């Protein structure tokens, strides 16, 4: 699946996104983030505080307990500040 990063999450990780295949046993957004944290120091810093993160699965906002099975795209970003 494609993981997309935006704003300071993108800056701290140092990439716009990545294609990943999470290991078996990772079933929801919280589990995915906990696994992504292990990928680099940048990931660990950007994703340390999940209360400051928002997630969209296939372009719909999703909670930390949302299942990731079948997702094509998961975006991880700070709370939005448009308008």
Q: What residues line the site for another protein (CB under 8 A)? A: 4, 6-8, 56, 59, 61, 75, 77-83
Q: Measured from the CB atom, is 36 or 62 closer to another protein?
A: 62
């990931």: which residue's tokens? 43
| C-beta closer to another protein: residue 7 or 34 | 7
Nearest to 16 by CA among 32, 3, 1: 3
Cα–Cα distance for residue pair 33/47, rounded to 1 Å: 7
CB of 31 to another protein, least distance (A): 23
Q: Specify the residue, 23 or 63, whose C-beta has the smaller distance to another protein.
A: 63
User: In angstroms, what is the minimal distance from the CB of 80 to another protein?
Assistant: 5
Spell out the residues 6+ positions from residue 38 whose beta carbon is closer than 8 angstroms to its own: 44
């Amino acid at each position: 699946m494609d993981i997309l990063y935006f704003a300071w999450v993108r800056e701290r990780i140092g990439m716009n996104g990545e294609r990943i295949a999470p290991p078996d046993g990772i079933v929801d957004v919280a589990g995915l983030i906990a696994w992504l944290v292990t990928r680099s120091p940048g990931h660990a810093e950007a994703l340390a505080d999940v209360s400051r993160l928002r997630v969209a699965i296939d372009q719909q906002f999703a909670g930390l307990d949302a299942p990731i099975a079948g997702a094509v795209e998961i975006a991880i970003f700070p709370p939005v500040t448009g308008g």
